[in-house]
């Protein structure tokens, strides 16, 4: 199963452009869309989910065109938007039963069998009879993933699945995504580097509707290898030292400060090369003055 995007452009009223000729090829595994708010992640996912038509260009899911073959795309799609509405008074089972009906799963026995399967997949067996309104944020996200799985999709689109969750629940949702990613395409949108580092097989970095990088996490780190520097200094020297640098970190070490920057060359006193991280690479790619061609 693959997703192919070619020359995809989306223009909104007032001349606002959400995507500028995006090209992508996505295959099985977890593919992360990484970028700040307004980068075009939600626009791209809405187009792939057949909720929005592109202005120009093409996008196919499993060979089906998202503009002209919406029903075929939806039949192999599972979607978890960032703000997924749940009826708080319905139990987990009732919620999934309702979603199953919306997917035209008319056979009650078959629907129950599938619900039990996805409840087991997302580790919600103990909560199946609880009202959704009484679940924690992480458990609600698991219900959202369960409804996205109920029609056995080949593509699952998840938008900011760990936003607003506490660290423990975030880890659980990431682990679940990692488990699910081996059998299908999962398109994950996030602005959290730690989500990408934990689960993504490949990454696309978007900035203002354009792709600035596509590759693996290792390839993303390699993009800034030799450009990451650390310089230890007195805290009193920080204000002057920080001017004009792309800063990626600052750490206190005893009475000293350790400044971390990304640059082609670094003439800060006592600067030494450092091993790059995804944070370093991301901040470097987010520079607003680089060529977006």
Residue with the bigger pLDDT between 131 and 175: it is 131
Report the CATH number that the domain containing residue 65 is assigned in CATH.
3.40.50.300
Give me the pLDDT at residue 32, please.
Answer: 95
- Reported confidence tier of residue 288, pLDDT bands at 50, 70, 90: low
- Give per-residue pLDDT as tens, 131-174: 999 998 888 988 999 999 999 999 999 998 888 788 888 888 88
201 domain residue, yes or no: yes
Copy the structure tokens of residue 142. Answer: 């698991």
User: Which band of pLDDT confidence, cut at 50, 70 and 90, is reported for residue 120?
Assistant: very high
In tens, the pLDDT along 204-249 reads 999 999 999 999 999 999 999 999 999 999 999 998 989 989 999 9
CA distances from 196 to 23, 72, 175 (A): 20, 29, 12
pLDDT interval class at 290 (50, 70, 90): low
Q: Is there a single domain that holds both residue 183 and residue 202?
A: yes
Question: What integer is the mean pLDDT of 62-91?
Answer: 92
What pLDDT, on the 0 to 100 scale, is given for residue 283?
94
- For residue 184, being part of any structural domain is answered with yes
Average pLDDT of the segment spanning 52-58: 96
Domain assignment of residue 288, yes or no? no
> Which tokens go with 181?
């990613």
Are the CB atoms for 30 and 156 separated by under 8 Å?
A: no
Task: Look at the chain and report how many structural domains it folds into.
Answer: 2
Residue 293 has pLDDT above 70, yes or no: no
Q: What is the pLDDT of residue 212?
A: 95
What SS3 class is residue 270? coil
Query: What is the value of pTM for the model shown?
Result: 0.88
At residue 292, the pLDDT reads 46
Same domain for 170 and 246, yes or no, is: no
Is residue 116 assigned to a domain?
yes
Share of the chain above pLDDT 90, in %: 71
Mean pLDDT of 99-123: 92
> Residue 147 falls within a domain, yes or no?
yes
Q: Is residue 293 part of a domain?
A: no
Q: Give me the helix-helix angle, 108-121 and 92-102, nearest 10°.
A: 120
72 and 204, same domain (yes or no): yes
pLDDT band, very low/low/confident/very high, at 123 (cuts 50, 70, 90)? confident
* Residue-level pLDDT at 258: 96
Sign of CA dihedral 141, 144, 150, 153: negative
Q: Are residues 110 and 255 in the same domain?
A: no
Q: Dump pLDDT digits (tens) for 261-279.
A: 999 999 999 899 999 999 9
**Mean pLDDT (the chain, rounded):** 91
Query: Do both 202 and 238 map to the same domain?
Result: no
Report how far apart, in Å, the C-alpha atoms of 1 and of each of 60, 156, 222 are.
11, 12, 29
Identify the domain boundary among 185, 206, 221.
221
CB-based contact 235:259 (threshold 8 Å): no
Domain encompassing residue 159 = 3-221
Contact 18, 55 (CB under 8 A): no
**Residue-level pLDDT at 62:** 93
152 plus 270 within the same structural domain: no
Strand, coil or helix: what is 118? helix
Distance CA 284, CA 252 (A): 23
* 200, 238: one domain: no
- Which whole-number Å values give the CA distances from 109 to 101, 105, 127, 156, 237, in the listed order? 12, 10, 21, 25, 71
| Both tokens assigned to 37 | 């708010």
pLDDT of 56 over the 70 cut: yes
In tens, the pLDDT along 12-31 reads: 988 899 999 999 999 889 99
């Amino acid at each position: 199963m693959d997703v192919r995007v070619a020359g995809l452009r989306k223009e909104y009223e007032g001349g606002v452009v959400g995507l500028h000729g995006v090209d992508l090829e996505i295959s099985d595994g977890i593919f992360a869309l990484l970028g700040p708010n307004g980068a075009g992640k939600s626009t791209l996912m809405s187009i792939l989910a057949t909720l929005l038509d592109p202005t120009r260009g093409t996008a196919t899911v499993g060979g089906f065109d998202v503009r002209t073959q919406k029903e075929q795309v939806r039949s192999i799609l599972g979607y978890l938007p960032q703000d997924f509405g749940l009826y708080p008074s319905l139990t987990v089972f009732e919620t999934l039963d309702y979603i199953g009906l919306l997917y035209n799963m008319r056979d009650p026995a078959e629907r129950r069998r599938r619900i039990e399967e996805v409840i087991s997949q997302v580790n919600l067996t103990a909560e199946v009879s609880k009202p959704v309104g009484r679940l924690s944020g992480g458990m609600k996200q698991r219900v959202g993933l369960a409804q996205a799985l109920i029609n056995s999709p080949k593509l699952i689109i998840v938008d900011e699945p760990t936003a607003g969750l506490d660290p423990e629940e975030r880890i659980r949702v990431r682990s679940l995504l990692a488990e699910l990613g081996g059998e299908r395409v999962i398109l994950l949108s996030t602005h959290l580097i730690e989500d990408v580092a934990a689960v993504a097989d490949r990454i696309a970095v978007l900035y203002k509707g354009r792709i600035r990088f596509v590759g693996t996490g290792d390839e993303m780190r390699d993009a800034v290898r030799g450009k990451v520097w650390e310089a230890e200094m007195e805290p009193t020297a920080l204000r002057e030292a920080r001017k004009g640098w792309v800063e990626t970190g600052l750490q206190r070490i005893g009475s000293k400060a350790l400044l971390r920057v990304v640059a082609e060359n670094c003439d800060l006193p006592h600067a030494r090369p450092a091993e790059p991280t995804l944070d370093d690479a991301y901040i470097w790619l987010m520079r607003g003055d680089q060529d977006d061609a």
